[in-house]
Structure 1
């Protein structure tokens, strides 16, 4: 029985910043952003969106009535949670109208947790093949204005329905993983911006990829030439390219195939920025939409979360994979975004919701999303459809 990703949805806020504008404002050469880190645009989050609304909007793109009846496990992967106790999955369950007879929990380990959630969902479906699971990867990447990490910010959510006999991707049982206590990136409970040692984190990322990939090859007797595409967690799109270059073979045909598919896989990430938990899976979605994949194409996927945890696993593209996502809707979402100035971006970045228990009502009229955050009342976030 094949188990894997049956449907995929994606959402990012309706505001976006051109990286050329940011480069000029920071006194940098735009090539440092466009080529050096491989980013063209950055998603900007209005106060009416957070990880819950983004996850709900992504899932709403793909969930139908049959899904609502079959989904009884919701796994919400994020490192930008809105509550230290209540999971984002519980809010999403209500917003989407999913059955109350479900498990709804939040999963955390930096950017890796969506892969952990996906593997947990796969195991659940193996035991309950008539059911479905909803995996949500939703985050807001924040490093602070005028910081080295500023140019790798972003926001968005990827939603995945996991089932038996999936339309998009069958996930194999082959994987290798690694965990080490490394302080390359973290965010204290009291902070709204992450702490990161950029160069150290980039080196750890490549080290973890080398470790799990080498172990995978030895354990399962495969080589890079066995894959049609290699996918990577993309905190910025140049990062994955650095890792790919460490394994490109001498065979020019294979190297060209892997490189071309990588370019297709990072296309949408270039225009959104860092999704943390969702970065690998937006890259997967971008490859499916923009690449050229034959039936049964073999994919290798590297997931990484600072702190640190990594995993390499494989999956097989299914014959009708394009039926599992709405490319037109996603491209329309990206193309319809409103450009903001650097000043507007800085104001939105600084205008955070109150943390002192006070009430705040938000103007939702300008937000075109279906699900929005209307404010905070009695220390409770007010989510609604609109």
Structure 2
């Protein structure tokens, strides 16, 4: 058997501690599978005194992760610090410069610096592996980079944030508000004290940027992703979607078309009967369309210490076996510049919810505005609304009605133009809500 593969691990939070436990539990089996033993030699974390429930008695301790990354006594640097810059970035660069393999779960770092770091890894002849950066325990990176190497991928779509999926699932099942669900998610540890990165869609966008690059061979460009979070989703939308046979999910979607690559993150109505529509709670899912294999979908835990540690150790095992692959599935120098396709050219069905003043001519005017933009309506549902203090231009009390429309296929640009005109006409009391529909 070869000499052991020596690890230095930076970051002993939930995931880091789980990695240590996994290596201790399955170390003998890993040695057999990999042909060499994997040995944890050194760690770095901010608080040395904290009880993490793991045995670090025979492990060297580094206060500075950058010094650990440069340590000649390790072969692989495992970065579990997090963040797009600061100690995480500096330590990963240092490890690569010193000819160390790197395993990371840091999607923010790779979304910002992935191509540059991939070039450095290739120059130094070492691996930069990041399975744990996207979808936790789901092996989607290996699937795109290795298993589907003989396919042309045309589209991928996924649920990539367990916090958002948990909130939307609870809202539907229990008919409780977004704010109430979010508080519960924070109490249970599914959401951060500042949840903006999750519920605003930014966490999902970082993950999508990496999957897009792997799927289409383009350079990573997270700034070109259209992003909408779930904060605007209310119970009326959840209930209407349910009655119409849909569920609302925060989807990440990337597809290649003649105009370039379209990347978008937004709430989406998907059929209840679809495979992705049945993915509930904190689970993640990724669906891939490829020319030879057809359609496939991977579902599993998208976060959590043990699931993410499983992916981290899978990457370490590849290095132990001597499996060497280009970081993004192809040489970094051969990755194509990202060419953005306009999201407003996206065609599909749309769900629209309006609070319409209950007065003569209002509904006809709305229908006319839709017709002017060539938008055909598949269904229209009216519901009782609420009393308003004053009706514009009259000063008298008014009632509103909730009008819910589902369109046939049209473009996002057409929907936006029609809704802008409807709001200008003064027939609605609040900004329109519209959500894209995906057949999946």
Give the TM bin, normalised by the shorter chain.
under 0.3
Answer with 1 or 2: which has the greater Rg: 2
Q: Looking at both structures, which has the greater relative contact order when contacts are Cα pairs under 8 Å and sequence separation is at least 6? A: 1
Q: TM-score, structure 2 length as denominator?
A: 0.24
Q: TM-score, structure 1 length as denominator?
A: 0.26
